[in-house]
A and B are shown apart, each in its own frame.
Chain A
Amino acid sequence: MHGRKFSMFRHSASAALLAAASLGLVLTGSGCAKNPEAQFAWRDSTELLIPDARKTVQKTMHESFGTPHDLVAWARMPVQYGGLAPAAAATDDAAAGDAAPVDNGPFGHQLQLGRQVYMKNCLHCHGVAGDGAGPTARYLNPKPRDYRLGLFKFTSTLAPERITRDDLHRVVKYGIPGTYMPSFLLLDKPGTGDVNTKAVIEYVRWLAMRGEMEKRIDDELVDYSLASIDDEIAKAKNSYESAKASGEKADPPPSRSALTRKAAGDFKTYLAEDYADAVDGTADFIAENWIRADEEASLIVPKVARVTDNAASRERGRLLYMSDKTKCYTCHGHTGKGNGPATEDFWPKPGSTEKYANRGLHDVWGNKLSPRNLRQGQYRGGRRPVDVFRRIYAGIKTTPMPAFGGTVLKDEDIWDVVNYVMSLPYEPEVPSAGPAKAPRMAATEARQ
């Protein structure tokens, strides 16, 4: 079921060990300790599982993805590992004919190169596991992307879809202005076919799949976590207390060790009966999502060409911006400065009634977000009209920016909004009149 392991360090390990042992005394004595070995950190949700469940998850992850020093190319993940998979090489001779140039390198070489490029350029912000928690991350605002939900902000795909390789390519090549993500335009020498860039993109995709896999398995096992045991104790305690208060007879709450034992017993059954299916299903789900992202049907292609950028179009855009249909102004503000009334509210955390401690909007990682100041002329997801069109069409994934395309706005309407928004940096700052005060609202309605 699993792919082949390839090790970078195993062969030299024994020799290195000997050398390290002899050097060790000298180095530690002089205060020059060895760097810690790179490791994929576990999610908190994995660490909080009961020991049996945790070990099972960690074993699955090790078998499917390996460690940073000992990568596993799992054939079920849609990653271009480079080279021909050992199984495919034997049977694929006929099919290889119509494929692009045959990659005869050793299996997995692209992933290994990607790791090398990643470790050199990306790791200090994005972290070994792609968790956005590298050593420099704590100094950055906005925070570096945590890949482990498999979600990225600036994509060219429909709202429910993942990011494409092309999108990642653009981000690596041109950076994200307004953030600390710099351009890696010169990562590859011209004419070398972007080998390093392509490899690091595969590695990032692989890290995202790995992270999502861990998260989804943890979610499956949520009944076997210490948190759910705490919940259960609290619940039992409550009902016991209330029963006692009303004078009824009730069982005292179970002890933690009893519950842990019970969860361990339940987990044993689950492991024997359902775990393999859960892992299988999760792997299929992730693989299908990532394959679908690169399919043509997922790409947002405007149905009409950009509406001519003139005063009339911008005015229509402005009225849409101020309308209750889009409510753009509630976040981006009446003047487009990103200071709408929504930034002053306390918002509930997703899936709960508890509110964030700070005013303003948050992304799915819980970081505070400012709606974009549209007057700066800075476009994180790209400044091509099609980029802004796609932001409005599919929203910005992981953020409160919703998708308008196909439902709320027709493509022509989106182009009007694009024209209005892209004109803002060059216009004097006059607060937009709301639709109630706008006599030309009728024009917009007539158009629809």
Chain B
Amino acid sequence: MGKFWAVFFMVFAVACVALCAVAPYCGWWFPGDGKAHSTLGQKIDDLFYLILVIVTVTFIGTQIAIGYVLWRGATHNPNEKALFSHGSHTLEVVWTIVPSGVLLFIALYQMDVWAHYRIKTYFPQKMEPVAEVTARQFEWRIRYPARGKKLMPTPQPDDIYTVNDIHVPTGHPVAISLRTEDVQHSFFVPMLRVKQDAVPGLVIPVWWEMTDTGTFEVTCAELCGWGHYKMKAQVVAQSEDDFEAWKTTTAAEQFYDGVPRSATEVAQRPQGE
């Protein structure tokens, strides 16, 4: 019976490792293609993978040790006399020092990423926000400055407005000013590894740097009311030129006075904008 339990626990451990190994190929991993699409997100992922390696080594090591002990216990000679031990001081020191060292290493090593986000070069207060994102039950409203202008803290006549549609340029770090109109919300872009609470009364700068163009889902990560689940938006990352062109067309639509100007516009008018 002892052998059965030894094998049982080992099968369980092997199954765990195997399941984790195939998970990324079955879509049971990070959202989207599994990669972070912001520079900081990649650093955060690196930290995650580092810790994953450490715990994997630890897990496999301890499981092998447990398996060895169980198997030894199941196959020992019943006539053998039990060994009585008061413990090993050396062993205790080793298994205290080694994990402490590992933890201390993680604690110190990750500080660089934190500093990179909060303190180093791109501390967001040194950056010009591309847009003001205002959370509200249950949508995201976005205000951009006009082309070639800076975002002002209060609305300006030539500001451009969108809803649930956040366009940002790639190639350099971008920042947004995050606000909420009512309750607490949380701006979460899983594929960028960006998450920041929006707190009533505060304007919170959030920054990231896109690594490529694409469309990325935004969700609310703070239960904000009955419509929380439908509070979705998208981040559309575009090249600098596309971003500026998008601003131009969006501004043209926003300042549309309803008078058809050309033959093509006349043809398009009945379908709306």
Interface residues of A (CB under 8 A from B): 121, 124, 136, 166, 169-170, 174-175, 177, 180, 182-183, 185-186, 190, 296, 299-302, 304-306, 377, 383-386, 389-390, 415, 422-423, 425-426
The 3 closest A-B pairs by CB, nearest first: A386-B258, A166-B272, A306-B257
B270 adjacent to chain A (CB < 8 Å): yes
- Nearest A residue to B271 by beta-carbon distance? A166
Across the interface, A183 reaches (CB within 8 A) one of B139, B259, B270, namely B139
Given A186-B164, A299-B269: 18 more A-B contacts, CB < 8 Å: A175-B139, A175-B163, A182-B230, A183-B139, A185-B165, A186-B233, A299-B270, A300-B258, A301-B259, A301-B260, A301-B269, A302-B258, A306-B259, A385-B258, A386-B257, A389-B258, A422-B157, A425-B155
Query: 19 interchain pairs (CB within 8 A)?
Result: A124-B226, A180-B137, A182-B138, A182-B139, A185-B164, A299-B269, A301-B259, A302-B259, A305-B257, A306-B257, A306-B259, A377-B155, A384-B254, A384-B256, A385-B258, A389-B257, A389-B258, A423-B157, A426-B157
In the complex the two chains form, is B137's CB within 8 Å of A305's CB?
Answer: no
Which of A183, A390, A426 lies at the interface centre, i.e. has the most chain B CB atoms within 10 A of its CB? A183
- Tell me, in angstroms, the Cα distance from A99 to B163 when the chains sit together: 34
Query: Which residues of chain B in 172-213 are interfacial with respect to chain A, using CB atoms and an 8 Å cutoff?
Result: none
B163-A183 in contact (CB<8A): yes
Q: Count of B residues near A, CB < 8 Å?
A: 31
Q: Which residues of A contact B165 (CB under 8 A)?
A: 185
What are the residues of chain B within 8 A of A425 when measuring CB–CB? 155
Judging by beta carbons under 8 Å apart, are A170 and B257 in contact? no
Interface residues of B (CB under 8 A from A): 137-139, 141, 155-157, 161, 163-165, 215, 226-227, 230-234, 253-260, 269-272
Hey, which chain A residues are within 8 Å of B226, CB to CB? 124, 136
- What's the Cα separation between A384 and B160 when bound, in Å? 11
Q: How many whole Å from B180's CB to the nearest CB in chain A? A: 14
Chain A residues lying within 8 Å of B156, measured Cβ to Cβ, are: 426
Shortest C-beta distance, B243 to chain A (Å), equals 17
Q: Is the CB of B257 within 8 A of A121?
A: no
Chain A nearest Cβ from B242, distance in angstroms: 15
Residues of A within 8 A of B155 (CB): 377, 425-426
Collect the chain B residues with CB atoms within 8 Å of residue A302's CB. 257-259
* Complex contacts, B163 vs chain A, CB 8 Å: 174-175, 177, 183, 185
| Cβ distance B46 to chain A, nearest Cβ, rounded Å | 31
What residues of B have a CB within 8 angstroms of the CB of A383 in the complex?
Answer: 161, 254
In the bound complex, how far is the Cα of B139 from the Cα of A136, in angstroms?
17
Query: Chain B nearest CB: distance from A297 CB in Å?
Result: 11
* Complex interface: chain A residues within 8 A of B260 (CB): 301
Asked if B272 contacts A169 (CB within 8 A), the reply is yes
Q: Which residues of B contact A422 (CB under 8 A)?
A: 157
CB distance from A189 to the nearest CB of B (A): 10
Q: Determine if B253 and A384 form an interchain contact, defined as CB atoms under 8 angstroms apart.
A: yes
In the complex formed, the residue of A with least CB distance to B256 is: A384
Given the complex, which residues of A lie within 8 Å of B255, measured CB to CB?
A: 384-385
Measured between alpha carbons, how far is A169 from B271 in the docked complex, in Å? 11
The complex places the Cα of A385 from the Cα of B259 at a distance, in Å, of 11
